[in-house]
Amino acid sequence: MSRRVVVVNAGVSAASSTRLLAEQLAGAVTAAVSARGESVDIEYIDVASLAGDLATAVTSGVMSPKVRSAQDLIAEADGLIVATPVFAASYSGIFKMFFDVLDPDALTGVPVLAAATAGTARHSLVIDHAIRPLLAYLRADVLPTGTFAATEDFGSPELSGRISRAGAELAARLVASGSVAGFGGPTDVGAAPRRSGSTTDLGPVTDFATLLQGHTGD
């Protein structure tokens, strides 16, 4: 049985260091799962390409087909790798918008590797101070090893070791025999919580101009 891992990459360019780190983590997961005699399919969501659609979804509640497709990928994933560049000492705006439009139950019990990149090691605590709390709020199973990489870290044996360790942690969750990953440990698959890719569809959304028509503010 092949597992599905979705990589949420918030890098702002196709050749970004964030995308590179995400790819290296995906490679480590693939190698670790293969070493256990199993297989894994890796799929990517490049959040930058959804920026305009996400802004519309956050401000109006209207989900474009691209956003719904990304939500469906998340709902079907056995595990996630999430990676963001650091902006203003935290995750990027588009990274946050992506998680803002997910169904509140979409990540419940899902094992997640958290990763971040920055130009300096001064931001190395961003995973524990910003990313981990966000994922914990969504009830994800955030794995112990967070992978931070400053520009100078790429190619170093220390970063390679962290990547391998993180990949092994996710692989162990993915191939756990007869269980699904989550806070409660091994669980009967039939008892796993239902996950939904998109937020509840409330039907057509009325714009603010219509809602406030004729209102004087008194």
CATH number, position 128: 3.40.50.360
Tell me the range of 72-81, 177-186, 191-200 where mean pLDDT is highest: 72-81
pLDDT tier, 189 (very low <50, low <70, confident <90, very high otherwise): very low
Collapsing DSSP states into helix, strand and coil, what is residue 96?
Answer: helix
Q: Please give the structure tokens belonging to residue 198.
A: 């998109």
Q: Does residue 172 lie within any of the structural domains?
A: yes
Residue 83 in any domain: the answer is: yes
State which residues form the domain around 67: 2-211
Number of domains in the chain: 1
Residue 216 lies in a domain: no
Q: Give me the mean pLDDT over the 122-134 stretch.
A: 96
Given a cut of 90, whether residue 212 has pLDDT beyond it is no
Does residue 217 fall inside a structural domain?
Answer: no
In single-letter form, the type of residue at position 103 comes to D
| Domain membership flag for residue 53 | yes
Instruction: Specify the pLDDT at position 185.
Output: 39
Q: Give the C-alpha distances (Å, rounded to integers) separating 167 from 133, 163, 171, 181.
A: 21, 6, 6, 15
The residue assigned the tokens 């959804």 is 50
Rg (CA), the chain: 18
Q: What mean pLDDT is predicted for residues 4-16?
A: 93
- The tokens for 27 are 């490679």
> In the prediction, which pLDDT does 1 show?
75
Residue 14: its pLDDT value, please? 79
Whether 144 shows a pLDDT value over 90: the answer reads yes
pLDDT score of 204 more than 80: no
HSE on the CB side for 136, CA within 13 Å?
9
Beta-bridged to residue 90, according to DSSP, are 87
| H or E, element range at 86 | strand 79-87
Rounded to an integer, the average pLDDT of 2-31 is 95
Residues 6+ apart with CB under 8 A from 157: none
Confidence tier at 180 by pLDDT (50, 70, 90):
very low
List beta partners, residue 83.
Answer: 9, 115
- 41 pLDDT above the threshold of 70: yes
pLDDT at 155: 94
pLDDT of residue 176: 83
Rounded Cα distance between 217 and 207, Å, is: 17
Whether this model's pTM surpasses 0.85: no
Per-residue model confidence (pLDDT) at position 182: 38
Average confidence (pLDDT) over 28-43: 96
The residue whose two tokens read 């979705």 is 6
